[in-house]
Amino acid sequence: MKLKLNEFTKNTRKLVLYRGIHYYQQSREKLDKQSDKTYYYDVAGQENNYKVVVNLGEENMIVFSSCDCPYSAAGYCKHQVASFIDILHQQEDFDIKKLENADVMEEKTPEQPVPDGWSPADFQRLKDFDVAGYLATFSRDELIYVMLNYMQIDMKLFMYIFHHYMVEEARSNIRNFN
């Protein structure tokens, strides 16, 4: 969903929006660096710090945004929200009252239904699956193969890796060129 930065609430749940506002009010977000229209934030969460990347395009459109927190529901997470608010504040386009009354996504249902074709026991085993333990059984080459194939399918993962690693490495090489 393409949104302008000042419309990010349309892809944010109300509870997440309020938590993000609270994080912003507590100054939990820190702009680590900015390169052109890409912003890199460190956001202090409840237990960990999280990395947020926001890339803006023409007319302040959100081209890409990612956070390495474990939030898995639809929409933006509270760490992204705090970062968006900080960018809007920098651009002098921040109005807390307007933000609090903005259109938001519908809240998620408390219970995730068992998908069609799954037994409740199989679905529970899937939710309890030890992903880290499973990935530890792969060789380095196998993990690279899996990542490369998945990145061809999932543009969000590709953009996350691209912004976090490739772009910054290239910029660093340019800055260090003699």
Write out the two tokens for 110: 């408390």
3-class SS of residue 105: strand
- Closest by CA position to 99, among listed 117, 111, 87, 112: 87
pLDDT computed for residue 168 by the predictor: 62
CA distance 52 to 120: 35
Q: Taking the CB of residue 51, how many other CB atoms lie within 10 A of it?
A: 16
Taking the whole predicted model, whether its pTM rises above 0.85 is answered as no
Model confidence pLDDT, tens digit, residues 19-41: 999 999 999 999 999 988 999 99
65: confidence class by pLDDT, cuts 50, 70, 90: very high
For residue 130, pLDDT over 90 is answered with no
Q: Where are the domains of the chain?
A: 5-100, 120-175
Q: Where are the beta strands (DSSP E) in 5-79?
A: 29-35, 38-44, 49-56, 62-67
CA distance 20 to 53: 15
